[in-house]
Amino acid sequence: MSVKFDELGLESGLLDSLRGAGFSQAFPIQARAIPVLLAGRDVIGQAHTGAGKTLAFALPMLQRIDRSDGVQGLVVVPTRELALQVAKEFQKLARSMRVNVIPLYGGEGINNQIRNLEDRGPQIVIATPGRLLDHLERRKISLNRVSFLVLDEADRMLDMGFIEDVEDIIRAITGKHQTALFSATMPDEIVELAQKHMKNPETVFVDSDEISVDTVDQRYVWLREEE
């Protein structure tokens, strides 16, 4: 049974952004995860590439944060490429909102990122583990106000040896926060991480059979009004 985005409790500004991109139907992972995240629950989402999981956490995060200063939403990802991709999707969704989104990743000079953090005062940061820890050690970013944490592609972070870094990042979040963990597979180490740091999480599972050929290519085409 298909579910429309306007049935999921999303605010009008986000629905307008989705309609502008030509989206009305939610993917299964989105239909199942978004209402739970909007309710403030922790979520474990198991879904493969192409399931549409970025929107599943981006939309609730954008709706639940406020517009004041300070990093409130944090998405931790395994690679620079994914950091850029996820940040781009957030920025497009938030283009009508007063929300700054900044990616932090290795492979480029840290000074430009420090200037961005100081000048733009982001509410949402998309970061790879090592580079985020670099900024934390330099005291260029604070996670004290983070209220929404996403660990994306957790199994890949495990494979790349980042789990200890992820643990350090979680410990740096001192306030009460909501956590969403997304992973294609659930090895024992990821299950242990979830048990250790999540509070009664709701598990959302999407079988690969539910990802059809027609929906796997969900993407944005953003047009100016005159187009």
Q: pLDDT digits over 142-181, tens only? A: 999 999 999 999 999 999 999 999 999 999 999 999 999 9
Q: Report if residue 227 sits inside a domain.
A: no
Q: Report if residue 220 sits inside a domain.
A: no
Q: Report if residue 170 sits inside a domain.
A: yes
Q: Give the percent of the chain with pLDDT over 70.
A: 91
Least confident of 30-44, 83-97, 185-199, 203-217: 203-217
Q: Report if residue 224 sits inside a domain.
A: no
Distance of CA 92 to the CA centre of its chain: 14
Q: Report if residue 223 sits inside a domain.
A: no
Q: Which residue intervals of 28-184 are DSSP H helices?
A: 28-38, 53-64, 80-93, 110-120, 129-137, 154-159, 163-172
Residue 158 pLDDT: 97
The structure's pTM equals 0.90
Residue 196 pLDDT: 96
Q: Report if residue 217 sits inside a domain.
A: no
Q: What is the CATH number of the domain that holds 145?
A: 3.40.50.300
By C-alpha distance, which of 154, 215, 211, 210 is closest to 187? 154
| pLDDT for residue 215 is more than 60 | no
φ/ψ (deg, to 5) at 151:
-105, 105
Task: Supply the range of the domain harboring residue 188.
Answer: 3-211
60-85: b (≥16 Cβ within 10 Å) or e: bbbbebeeeebbbbbbbbbbbebbee
Residue 149 pLDDT: 99
Number of domains in the chain: 1
Q: Report if residue 134 sits inside a domain.
A: yes
